[in-house]
Amino acid sequence: MNAVKMNKLDAKLREMFELSKQTEAKRNQRKVQTGTGNIIRRRKGEADKRLSF
């Protein structure tokens, strides 16, 4: 294997490792929760529904 091909493969491998680290960091980030919490939705003729946002 010549040096040029090894360097290209090495660069590609580093890029893949970096992408893997970024993906893992995104997966481990806590999801941002918006909203007010539990809500009771009332409709005429229907039972109350509890919704959590």
Model confidence over 1-53: pLDDT tens digits?
A: 799 999 999 999 999 999 999 999 888 887 776 666 788 889 999 999 988 76
Specify the pTM.
0.51
Contacts of 48 (CB under 8 A, 6+ apart): 40, 41, 42
The number of folded domains in the chain is 1
Q: Which DSSP helix (H) or strand (E) runs through 25?
A: helix 3-28
Structure tokens at 26: 């995104």
- The residue segments making up the domain with residue 12 are 3-50
